[in-house]
Amino acid sequence: MSGTPACYPAPKIYCKQEVVEIVRLANRYDLSIVGRGAGTGLSGGALARQGGIVLAFSRMNHILEIDAENQRALVEPGVVNLDLSRATEKYGLYFAPDPSSQKSCTIGGNVSENSGGPHTLAYGVTSNHVTGLELVLPDATVVQVGGRNMETPGYDLAGLVIGSEGTFALVTEITVRLLRLPEEVRTLLAIYESLEDATDSVVDITARGIIPAACEMLDGWTLRAVEAYVHAGFPLDSAAVLLMEVEGVREAAETQADEIIEVCRRHKAREVRRARDARERALLWKGRKEAFGAVGRVSPSYYVLDGVIPRTKLTPTLLRVEEISKHCGLVIGNIFHAGDGNLHPLILFDHRDPAQFRRARAAGEEIMQLCVEMGGTLTGEHGVGMEKNELMPLMFTETDLDLMRKVRAAFNPVGRLNPGKVLPLGKGCGETRLQPFPLSAGGNL
Amino acid sequence: MSEVAESLASRLAELSGTGRVRTDPKSLAAYEVDGRAPSAALLPGSVSEVAEILRFASAERLAVIPIGGRTHMDIGMPPQRYDLALDVSAMKQVLAYEPRDLTLGVEPGITYAELDRSLRKEGQFLPLAPSFAERATLGGIVAAAADTPLRYAHGTAKDLLLGIEFVTGEGVISKSGGRVVKNVTGYDLHKLLIGSLGTLAVITRLNFRTFPLPPGRRMFVAAFADLSGALTLGRAIMKSPLQLRVVDLVNPRAAGLFTAYSGSILGRDSWLAVVEAAGHEKVLERHARDLASLSQDAQATEFVALDEDHRERLFGCLCDFSPIAFGATPAATVFRIAAIFSAIPALLEDTRKLAECHALDCAILIRALSVVYIALLPPANPEVYPELASCSRKLMTLCVKSGVAPMIERCPLEIKNALGIWPPPGTEREITQRLKHVFDPHCILSPGRFRGGI
């Protein structure tokens, strides 16, 4: 995705004081500011839509403290997600949110977008794992919200700021909660002849009281694209695979894995494989986490969608997505967090063909409308950004949006931070009204 | 009834329906907050009625306190003004429940116990088990950020609430979040309403994620001669791979109160670690083995698995710690202090010295190894209030200095007035006030009850 070039080169900042100084400068010269972590977001959150200053946090990347006894870490916003889990592994701890981009995305970016990942089915998204934030507000004041403790008397400002996509404040320090690494992890791959059998298995697994740590689905087209690239061992002739993980104490992981295998077989799984060792497990996950890259090899461009539906609506929704694919004449692959109904349809197109571009965008909008009709939402983890801000009225009334605008104004009264994101652009508000440009080439922004 | 009150009652009856307005003193006494009764109590039946009432109240600048089961009304400062009680107990429908999606939408007035019975029929539960479960409403549980022993495994309302519908202080109906288990669309305004004590909006619908009931559960109690043994076990549990749903520690005085409240559980003179595991039999056996071993390593004097009857009673005591302490003596002052684990020993040692110095008894519950409840227990005698206030003030100061997060959950009105229940606001004060203004520009919702005088 590309955006309006920033008016000023992105300053790489090293400390909070520099952030404060730049905010003061921005106020003096009336410039907008966009915070940026690694720029891996998929809704355009880190793009300077209206120019101004892009504040790159990539050098503010220090893990300031690991407090193993209390299972906390204090980090700067530019710390890469996976680096934190690697640094805390020796204490038997890790940071639970694990977006597919975790090798490069930053904790600050995770806070902005309230990022998820495959394991959020069991462990929740970023807001469930952050206890405190240090903020620089658009008037250059520094505010602490939350702290190391699990709760703070007063309004949950940290909970509000997480997921506000950089439109409320710039985050300069983050206190995260670390989880204990599980004793046992069992990774399963269930292979199906029909997509419906796979989705029925997902519903039945949770209905039986099993909440896997992760439950991912790849449809036939996608798994073939992935297999050609990653060689994870996905069977090329199947209609869908479920990649599932259960973890915890050995006895619980064993029992749950057995139960899941039984459910999958009952729903006509052709085969259920167990990863035999860490290498096999890593390979299966590589297949999942590098899937977007694999798709990039077979199509000049693709559009990654992110919508959520109730998991019981998986089958009818996927059938409708198939219909949309047919009538728009574009391949749509499906790879998603099935356990929590978080879809990621991938619409393949050639960005050099304006007609295909238009059809891809229309198909994306249709799928988003479908998610909302099914009782779901516009985004489960990628954020609204500038991709879906004009779709917000599908979920929210003008009254709802007006209150959100007022809440944003309580932090960011003149719209200096990340303008043109999250909320629909109001008529005559002075912000440049751009068409949403949600199309991704290669899966990286 | 005065002429003004009659006119008010008549207008309110139009808004809320005849029969759903109370103005007689006997009814209104039940709605007292910190000794102050409203001029009228209203029982709306729908979100549109709530909105109508709040538009009227906003226009007339009448102060409104939203009320559910009245189980957590002690939390908060005395209201600066209080004209109308907005009792949501008539709004108690389950609006949507799809067991296979593990999601639920309810009106705010449904009680936890009633909802729990419905969910159990489908083999599910909502892990918010509060105090006074038979009376506590879901709206109240969220608005008061009521605590639960199950937080060790499931977190709190923040982790379970998917979305919310609410009415602002201007009578505007709004919503945030959604009905599915994963959602980052729009700003999470519902996070602000958790624990806001009705100072921002009136909650009219709550969407939660539910959980399957575990196939089995077993509660264990380990007894220790002193705090350090109990903390050693707590530390060992944190470092272990065990998956527990309850890990609460109680001091001998609290154990004594529990015994008096619900019969004998274990020796009165011990610190107790109360832990619960859930899962299949093999999982429970593994936890039993490991916990017995860890308890032995921590010098436990006793380690037992409870039968279902004792488990129910002890779990009830853990939920009801604060009201049990308050029941022991109406002068009880109960602190709720969020603290990282390593801060707990020093906090409790300082508390012990303070209480000793002021000749006060202390019942202590360490919830989920992260929230410390300290009940200062003086004799029920107003003469002790200065001593109690002095001790409470020192404890509050000590907490603020040492970086833990205190508030007073329950205390006599005299202490509230003398001391306040909140720590002083920090750097977030201004932004908090701006947010209050956004939701409730005329300050009609629960005025003065919240931190920072909001």
**Residue A440 resides in a domain:** no
Q: How confident is the model at residue A208 (pLDDT cuts 50, 70, 90)?
A: confident
Does residue A95 sit in the same domain as residue A222?
no
Which of A112, A127, A155, A406 to mutate against chain B (most B CBs within 10 Å)? A155
Tell whether A379 is covered by a domain: no
Given an 8 Å threshold on Cβ–Cβ distance, is A142 in contact with B432?
A: no
A157 pLDDT exceeds 70?
yes
Domain assignments of chain B as residue spans, ordered by start: 1-213+424-454, 217-319, 321-419
Predicted TM-score (pTM) of the model is: 0.94
Smallest CA–CA distance, residue B4 to chain A, in Å, is 34
Q: What is the CATH number of the domain that holds A26?
A: 3.30.465.10
| Residues whose CB falls within 8 Å of the CB of residue B26, separated by 6 or more in sequence, listed in order | none
| Contact check, Cβ <8 Å, B181/A340 | yes
For B337, phi then psi, to 5°, come to -125, 110
- Does a structural domain hold residue A169? yes
Residue B271, strand partner residues: B224
Q: What is the pLDDT of residue A232?
A: 87
In a domain, A382, yes or no: no
Residue A345: inside a domain: yes
Q: Are residues A16 and A75 in the same domain?
A: yes
The tally of domains found in chain A comes to: 3
**Domain end position, chosen among A292, A321, A354:** A292
Cα A150 to Cα A62, A143, A371, distances in angstroms: 23, 18, 34
Residues 6 or more apart whose Cβ sits within 8 Å of residue B149 = B129, B246, B248, B274, B276, B315, B318, B319, B367, B368
> Do A106 and A24 fall within a single domain?
yes
Whether A92 maps to a domain, the answer reads: yes
Q: Tell whether A17 and A152 lie within a shared domain.
A: yes
Question: CB-CB: which of A72, A113, A248 is closest to B243?
Answer: A248
- State the maximum Cα–Cα separation within chain A, in Å, rounded to a whole number: 66
Please report, for residues A384, A389, A421, B186, the alpha-carbon distance to residue A394 in angstroms, rounded to integers and kept in the order given.
13, 10, 16, 12
Give contacts of B 329-368 with A, CB under 8 A: 338-342, 368
Task: Return d(Cα B361, Cα B350) in angstroms, integer.
Answer: 14
Interchain CB distance below 8 Å, A310 and B283:
no
Model pLDDT for residues B244-288, shown as the tens digit of each residue: 999 999 999 999 999 888 776 666 689 999 999 999 999 999 999
How far is A421 from B261, CA to CA, in rounded Å? 55
* A chain contacts of residue B238, beta-carbon cutoff 8 Å: 71, 180
Contact flag A206-B427 (C-beta cutoff 8 Å): no
CATH number of B217-319: 3.30.70.3450
pLDDT at A443: 31
Best of A377, A387, A394 to disrupt the B interface (most B CBs within 10 Å) is: A377
User: Per the CB < 8 Å rule, is A153 touching B341?
Assistant: no
Strand partners, A144: A134
Place of tokens 């998610």: A371
Give the DSSP H or E segment for A246.
strand A240-248
Distance of CA B297 to the CA centre of its chain: 34
Nearest to A150 among B370, B406, B428 (CB): B370
Q: Are residues A161 and A268 in the same domain?
A: no
User: Is B440:B168 a contact under the CB 8 Å cutoff?
Assistant: yes
- Residue ending a domain, choose from A229, A263, A292: A292
Residues 211-230 of A with CB under 8 A from B: 211
Backbone angles phi, psi at B447, to 5 degrees: -65, 135
CATH of domain B321-419: 3.30.70.600
pLDDT tens for B111-132 read: 999 999 999 999 999 999 999 9
Please check whether residues A108 and A229 belong to one and the same domain: no
- How far is the C-alpha of A269 from the C-alpha of A192, rounded, in Å? 5
pLDDT at B3: 61
Q: How far is A298 from chain B (nearest CA, A)?
A: 30
A441 pLDDT band (50/70/90 cuts)? very low
Q: Over 90: is that where the pLDDT of A212 sits?
A: yes
pLDDT at B2: 55
CATH number of B1-213+424-454: 3.30.465.10
CB < 8 Å from A in window 196-255 of B: 196, 200, 211-215, 235, 238-243
| Per-residue pLDDT band at A428 (split at 50, 70, 90) | very low
Mean pLDDT of chain A: 91
Predicted confidence band at A7 (pLDDT cuts at 50, 70, 90)?
low
- Tell whether A239 and A308 lie within a shared domain: no
Helix (H) / strand (E) element for A408: namely helix A398-411
Residue of A341, A384, A392 with shortest CB distance to B180: A341
Would you say residue B379 has pLDDT above 90?
A: no
Comparing CA positions, the residue from A170, A255, A161 lying closest to residue A210 is: A255
The confidence score (pLDDT) of residue A9 equals 59
Q: Mark out the alpha helices in A189-313 (DSSP H runs).
A: 195-207, 220-230, 250-266, 278-289, 291-298
For B443, half-sphere exposure in the C-beta direction (CA atoms, 13 angstrom radius) is 11
pLDDT of B242 higher than 60: yes
Residue A384 resides in a domain: no
pLDDT confidence of residue B9: 72
The ipTM of this complex is 0.96
Summarised one tens digit per residue, pLDDT across range A372-400 is 999 999 999 999 999 999 999 999 999 99
Indicate whether B202 pLDDT > 50: yes
CA angle B386, B392, B397 (to 5 degrees): 125
Q: By residue range, what is the domain housing residue A226?
A: 184-292
Would the CATH topology of B1-213+424-454 be identical to that of B321-419? no
Give CA–CA dist A372/A270, Å, rounded.
33
| Closest CA–CA distance from residue B297 to any residue of chain A (Å) | 19
Query: Above 70 in pLDDT, residue B38?
Result: yes
CATH number at residue A347: 3.30.70
Name the domain boundary from A262, A292, A322: A292
Tell me which H or E stretch contains A192: strand A184-192
Section A48-52 average pLDDT: 90
Claim to verify: residue A33 and residue A172 sit in the same structural domain: yes
Supply the pLDDT for residue A429: 43
Spatial contact of A377 and B178, defined as CB atoms under 8 Å apart: yes
Out of B283, B371, B427, closest to residue A249 by CB: B283
Mean pLDDT of A16-42: 95
Predicted confidence (pLDDT) at residue B197 exceeds the cutoff of 50: yes
In the predicted structure, residue B4 carries a pLDDT above the cut 90: no
B180 with A404: Cβ contact below 8 A: no
Please, which pLDDT band fits residue B20 given cuts at 50, 70 and 90?
A: confident
Report DSSP state, residue A92.
T
Average pLDDT in the B419-431 region? 96
Residue A387 resides in a domain: no
